[in-house]
Structure 1
Amino acid sequence: MSKLNNEQVKAESQGLRGPLSDDLASSDAFLSEAGKLLIKFHGSYEQTNRDKRGAAAREYIFMVRSKLPGGRLTAAQYLAHDEIATHHGNGTLRITTRQGIQFHGVVKGHLRDTIRELNHALVTTFGACGDVVRNVMCCPAPTDNPKRLAVQRFADVLCAETLPKTKAYHQIWVDGQAIVADEEDPLYGATYLPRKFKVAIAFAGDNCMDIFTNDAGLIALFDEDGALAGFNVIAGGGMGVTHNKESTFARLADMVGFVTPGHAVEVIKAIVTVHRDFGDRTDRKHARLKYVLHEWGVEKFRQELQSRVTFPIEPPREMPTFVVDDHLGWNQHGPDAWSLGLPIDSGRIADVGDQRVRTGIREVVSRFVGEVQLTAQQNILLSGIRSADREAVEAVLDAHGIVTVGRISGLRRNSLACPAMPTCGLAISEAERVLPRVLGELDQVLEDVGLPGHPIVFRMTGCPNGCARPYVAEVALVGRSLDKYMLYLGGDVAGTRLARPFLDLVPLGSVARTLKPLFERYRDQRREAEDFGDFCDRLGLDTLKAIVAEATAASQPQPVA
C-alpha cells in the first residue's frame, strides 16, 4: 500500500468529512486510511491494544480527547466526563499535559455516542487533535481575582476563533451527515496547517504552562494598578524529535514582541497564518513552526508577522524571572471559597486497589465543588469549596485512599509521563506503566545519599515526540528501544532551558544506578539553593559522564592478583 498523502487527503476531504460517515456505518472495527487521518481533527485517534499480539487478536480501540480552554470545567461537565468513561471508555479518565481529558478504550460503535454526550455537556472534541490550533492552555490558578478571569477569557476566545469553520463536526457526530460541503476555511484554507499548532497563555513570573515549548504563546503583564497591560508574544517552540534525524530537534520559543490586550487574539492568528504559508508540507517531521523560526531567525519572522497585522508589534517588555507554581494543596481564592489541588499520577484518574481516586473525586465534585481546573502537570484543582466543608472533603479523600500533596515526594510531585504502551502506536518503550517503579527507585536512591524527598523535575516518554515535555526537565527518559531510553539532563525547574542528551540506550533497570553518583556529587558540591538541573548544566556533560564512568569502574569486580 502506498503511503497516504496527508495534504491530498485534507484537500479532498470536503471540510474534514472524507469517508468518516461511511466508516462509522461500516461493520469493520477500524477506519479507512483516510478516515484514520481525518478523525484526528475531530478529536480522536484509532489505536490498537498492543498487549494483544498477532492479527487475529488485534483489538481496535479509540482515544477520544476533549478540548477544554485553560483546562476549565464546571462540576457538571466533569461529572459528564466521568459518566462517559463508565459507559464508553475503559473506566478511567486521563488528564493530558495540555489540560484536556482523554478517554481510552472506546470502540468504534461508541464513538458517536461519546462525542454526542460531550456535546450535550457543552464540551467539544473538535480540534483537540489534527493539523489545527489545539487546545489553548492557560494558567489554571482558581481565583476570583479579575486578573485570572481576564486571561481565561483570552483562552476561550482564541479557542473559538481558531476552531475550523466547517460544519462537518456537528453533521457527522451530532446532527447527521449533510451532502453539501463548506466553503474554504478563512483561517486554515483547504489543507489546514502543515502540522499541529500549540498555544498557551501564562502569567509573567509563573511558568506552570511550560510556555516556551509552544508554537506560540502570550505572557500576561499587568500595570501597577493591577490592570492587564498586554502580552509579551513568543513563537517557535516545540518538543518533537525523531531519533537519528539531526534535522529534527526540540526548541524553545523566541520572544517576538509585545501587544496590547485588544491585539492579542489577532497576533496569534497571524502567527498561525505564517505557519500555514511557510511550514514544510513535504516532510511532516520538519513541519512545525519552530523550523521556520530556526531557519529564518527571529528578526525575519518578526518582519513577516508585522506585515500581516495592522497594529504595531512593540519590543518585548521586561518581566519577572519565571518560577513554577503547580497550584497543589489548599489555596483560598475568595472570602469563603477554597481550591484543593490534588496530584494525579500521570494524570490517570482511576480506581486501583485501595486507591479509589476516580470514585473519591467524583464524590467530592458532586457534593462540594463548583468548578474544576486541570493543570499542565496532569493534576486536578477542585474549586469553590466552602470553608465549612474542608474537613468533609478531606474525610472523603482519606476514605478513598487518595494521597494529597503533603504526603508525596518532591520527585513524584514534579513528574510527568505520557501514556505510551499499550495504546499509543508511536511508543517504542513504556512510560506511564513503569513510572511508579522508576520513581520508587529514584526516591530510594535520593534517601540513600541523604537527599530524601528532594524535588527534581522528572519526565518520561515512550518515544521522542515529547508529549510529556521531557526536553525541559532536569532529568528525563525518552524511549529509545524496548526497555531502553535516552537519558537527558540539565533542563531547569522553570522550564526555560533545554535538557541535553546524556547517555543513550540506558536500560530501565540501570537508571537509578546511573544517576546515584551524580546525586552524590550534587549533595557534596552544589551551591546554595542550586537545583539539580542547574548543577548538571554548570558541570557540563563531559564531567558528568566522567563521574558516572568512575563510579561504574569502581563497582566492577577487580581481578585477583
Structure 2
Amino acid sequence: MSTDTDAPKPLAANEGIKTASNFLRGTIAEELKDTSTGAISEDNQQLTKFHGLYLQDDRDVRIERRRAKLEKAFSFMLRVRLPGGRCSAAQWLVLDKLADEQANGSLRLTTRQTFQFHGILKGNLKPLIKGMHATLLDSIAACGDVNRNIMAPANPERSPAHAAMYDHAKNLSDYALPKTRAYHEIWLDDELVAGGEPEVEPLYGPTYLPRKFKVGFAIPPSNDVDVYSQDLGYIGIVENGQLVGYNVTMGGGLGMSHGNEQTHPRLADLVGFITCDQVNAVGAAVIATQRDYGDRTNRKHARLKYTIEDRGIDWFKAEVEKRSGVTFGPAREFAFTTIQDPHGWHECADGTWFYGLHILSGRIKDRDGWLMKTALREVAEIHTGDFRLTPTQNVTISGVTAEGKAAIEAILAKYGLDKENERSPLRLNAMSCVALPTCGLALAESERVLPEVIERFEAVLESAGLSDDAISLRMTGCPNGCARPYLAEIGFVGKAPGKYALYIGAKYNGSRLNRMISPKCTIDEALEMLTPIINRYAKERSEGEEFGDFCERVILPADATFHSVGTVEATA
C-alpha cells in the first residue's frame, strides 16, 4: 500500500516554465512590444535569465512611486558572456558607448570576470544587444539554469601554461553553450527557418539544468578564481613550464538561505587528475549527470553540491567516468598561496606588459574629481592589446608593447588612476556585490557601504600596526554569496536593513570556509567585536600566520562562546 511519502514530489515551478518555453522563447518577443509597462511577466522573467537579463527596479524610489500610483521604476540588468574575462580594446569602446546610450552610464565588473549593464529600459534592450553583437559579444547563458561565464586566470601572456589554460576555458565555454536559436530570433531578428529539423539541446535537453552551474580554471600558486567555490573546477598542473593536465574538483557552491539549515556553503571535493585533452569530455559528463540527477523539485536543493552530498562523491565520480570514458588518475601535488590580483606593471613571457588596475567593487563610472570611465576610454582608444577582467572585480590592460607603455602610463597619471594601486592590502582584496538599490534579493547595502566599512577597518588595522597585512574582507547584501563572502577572512552577509551576519576564519587562499560569529549585527557592532580580535592577532600570531588561520586556531575553537556584541571568549 502506497503512502503520501511514496508519491513523487511536484516539480519546481521553473521546470514547467522551461518545458513550455519552446527552448527559451516563451512570449518574450511579444512582450517587448508592449509599451504600456516597463516590465515583463513573471514567466518571461525566468526565461530572460538564460538570455543574460534580469528585470530589476530602483528600490530607492519604490515608496515614492507607489504614493504617486506609478508602477515600479523597472529596468534591466544585462550580463555579458566573456570567458576568462577577455575583451578587446575595440569591444571596450563599444561597451563604454552602449553604457552611456542604452544603460545608466556605468559599467560594472562582476566577480565572474564579466561586465554588467544596469538601468537598461525595456525599449533599449534590443539596441544594446545588437550593439554588442556587432562587436562579437553576447549575453547568451550569462544567467539561467545553464553553465555560466567560465572563469580563468587573467593575462594568458604570462606563460605558455596560462595561454593553454585560457584556450581550454574558452573551448569549454563554447562547447557548453545552449544551442537554441531563441536569443538570435528575439534580440537580433533572425528568422525561424520553417520546415527545418526539430530543435534539440544535445547537452541540456529541453528543460536545461535544475539550477545554475559554474566552472573555474585556476593555476597555482594563485587561487584567484576561488576554485573550490565552483561546481566544477580545473586546477592546472604545470611541469617544466608546460601545462600537463588538471586536478578536477566537483561540488562547490556558496549560496544559502538565512534560517534554512538545509542550505549551506560547500567547498568542492578533489576528485583526481585528467589530461588536457579530456577537459570537455569531463565537463560534459559532469553537466549531464547533474542534468539527470539534480533535484528539480526544490530549487534551494538543486545545485550540484547537494546532488553530491545526497549520493556521495564516489558515486558521482563513477558516473562521470562512465559517461566521459575518462578514468581519473591520482591527484597531482599543488599548493595555493594567494588570491590577490597582480597590480601595477608586469612583464610577460611574450615580451609584452600588462597593468593591473584596482577598481573597488568593479564600478566603472565618472564622478566629480574621479573620471575613471573617461580614463579607460582614452586608454582603449590608443591600446593595441586587450583588457582582461579579473575574478576580484579589477581590470588589467594587457598586451601592452614597450612603445605603448609610456602613453598608457601618461593617461593613468593624468586622471590619478596610477595612485589607485597604492591603497591598503585590505582594500585591494575587498569585494562586494551590487545589492541595493537594484538587486531584488538584497536585504542590506553592500557596494554603497563598502567604502565606509573599509575605511573604518583600515583605521583599526593601522592602530594595531597591521596596515600592510593582506586580509580578505567581502560583503554581500544577501546570503546568495555573489562576492564569495564565505571564503573571506572577514565576511559580511546581509540579513536586514543595516544588519549583517558576520563570519570570520576562512583560509586566505580560499581552501577553508569561515564561520559565523554573529547572526545579526550592525557595522558598529561588528567593529566592536572584531577590534579586540584584530589586536590579539597583532600581538599573539605565529610567524607568518594569516588572520583567518589565527581566528581558526585561537578564536574559533569548537567550544567557543560568541557574544552578539563584544569580545569572543573561549570557555574553559
TM range, normalised to the smaller chain? over 0.9
Amino acid at match of 1:301: F
What whole-Å deviation, never above 9, does each CA across 1:181-202 have from its counterpart, x for those lacking one? 9523111011000000000111
What whole-Å deviation, never above 9, does each CA across 1:280-320 have from its counterpart, x for those lacking one? 11111110000111222221111111111223222222223
Match of 2:393 in 1: 378
Match of 2:348 in 1: 333
Does 2:90 align with 1:76? yes
User: How do 1:221-236 residues align onto structure 2 when only pairs under 5 Å count?
Assistant: 221-224=237-240, 226-236=241-251
Amino acid at match of 2:179: K
Does 2:559 align with 1:519? no
Q: SS at the partner of 1:330?
A: strand
Amino acid at match of 1:16: L
Q: SS at the partner of 1:115?
A: helix
Query: In structure 2, do the counterparts of structure 1 residues 198 and 81 end up closer, same or farther at CA, with 3 Å as the change threshold?
Result: same
* Alpha-carbon offset, residue 544 of structure 1: 7.0
Match of 1:35 in 2: 44
Q: Which of the residues 263, 280, 291 maps onto 1:276? A: 291
Match of 2:102 in 1: 88
Between the aligned partners of 1:186 and 1:552, the Cα distance in structure 2 is 54
Does 2:191 align with 1:210? no
Q: Contact (CA 8 Å) 1:373, 1:380: kept in 2 or not?
A: yes
What whole-Å deviation, never above 9, does each CA across 1:438-466 have from its counterpart, x for those lacking one? 00000011112222243210000000000
Q: Contact (CA 8 Å) 1:21, 1:177: kept in 2 or not?
A: no
Amino acid at match of 1:151: M
Give the stretch that moved more between structures: 302-311 or 487-496: 302-311
Give the stretch that moved more between structures: 288-297 or 470-479: 288-297
Q: Contact (CA 8 Å) 1:343, 1:404: kept in 2 or not?
A: no
Q: Contact (CA 8 Å) 2:433, 2:482: kept in 1 or not?
A: yes
Q: Which of the residues 138, 141, 164 maps onto 1:124? A: 138
Q: SS at the partner of 1:138?
A: coil
Does 2:55 align with 1:46? yes
What whole-Å deviation, never above 9, does each CA across 1:120-173 have from its counterpart, x for those lacking one? 110110000000000111111341632222111111111111110011111111
Q: SS at the partner of 2:61?
A: coil
Amino acid at match of 2:271: V
Q: How many residues align?
A: 550
Amino acid at match of 1:353: D
Between the aligned partners of 1:275 and 1:221, the Cα distance in structure 2 is 26
Q: SS at the partner of 2:493?
A: strand
* Alpha-carbon offset, residue 273 of structure 1: 0.7
Q: Contact (CA 8 Å) 1:329, 1:405: kept in 2 or not?
A: no
Give the stretch that moved more between structures: 404-413 or 39-48: 404-413
* Alpha-carbon offset, residue 552 of structure 1: 9.6
Segments of structure 2 that go 5 or more residues without pairing to the other structure are 1-10
Q: Contact (CA 8 Å) 1:517, 1:548: kept in 2 or not?
A: no
Between the aligned partners of 2:518 and 2:163, the Cα distance in structure 1 is 44
TM (norm. structure 2) is: 0.92
Does 2:514 align with 1:499? yes
* Alpha-carbon offset, residue 394 of structure 1: 2.6
User: How do 1:462-481 residues align onto structure 2 when only pairs under 5 Å count?
Assistant: 462-481=477-496
Between the aligned partners of 1:440 and 1:509, the Cα distance in structure 2 is 13
What whole-Å deviation, never above 9, does each CA across 1:243-298 have from its counterpart, x for those lacking one? 00011000000011211111111101100011101111111111000011122222
Percentage of pairs with the same residue: 42
Between the aligned partners of 2:520 and 2:564, the Cα distance in structure 1 is 15
Q: Contact (CA 8 Å) 1:329, 1:404: kept in 2 or not?
A: no
Match of 2:7 in 1: none
Q: Contact (CA 8 Å) 1:405, 1:413: kept in 2 or not?
A: no
Amino acid at match of 1:199: V
Q: Contact (CA 8 Å) 2:80, 2:142: kept in 1 or not?
A: yes
Between the aligned partners of 1:26 and 1:222, the Cα distance in structure 2 is 55
Q: Contact (CA 8 Å) 2:518, 2:563: kept in 1 or not?
A: no
Does 2:199 align with 1:183? yes
Match of 2:430 in 1: 415
Does 2:463 align with 1:448? yes
Amino acid at match of 2:492: L
Give the stretch that moved more between structures: 382-391 or 120-129: 382-391
Q: Contact (CA 8 Å) 2:237, 2:244: kept in 1 or not?
A: yes
* Alpha-carbon offset, residue 548 of structure 1: 8.6
What whole-Å deviation, never above 9, does each CA across 1:390-444 have from its counterpart, x for those lacking one? 3432332232232545410011011000000000000000000000000000001
Between the aligned partners of 1:121 and 1:550, the Cα distance in structure 2 is 54
Does 2:247 align with 1:238? no
Amino acid at match of 1:116: K
Q: Which of the residues 351, 365, 386 maps onto 2:366? A: 351
Match of 1:17 in 2: 25
Match of 1:145 in 2: 159
* Alpha-carbon offset, residue 336 of structure 1: 4.7
Match of 1:558 in 2: none
Match of 1:194 in 2: 210
What whole-Å deviation, never above 9, does each CA across 1:327-380 have from its counterpart, x for those lacking one? 221101156521000000100011122111111111112113411100000000
Amino acid at match of 1:188: Y
* Alpha-carbon offset, residue 511 of structure 1: 2.4
Give the stretch that moved more between structures: 418-427 or 406-415: 406-415
Amino acid at match of 2:506: G
Q: Contact (CA 8 Å) 1:354, 1:401: kept in 2 or not?
A: no
Does 2:168 align with 1:169? no
Query: In structure 2, do the counterparts of structure 1 residues 356 and 195 end up closer, same or farther at CA, with 3 Å as the change threshold?
Result: same
What whole-Å deviation, never above 9, does each CA across 1:196-230 have from its counterpart, x for those lacking one? 00001111322111001000011111233x33211
Between the aligned partners of 2:150 and 2:454, the Cα distance in structure 1 is 30
Give the stretch that moved more between structures: 502-511 or 211-220: 502-511
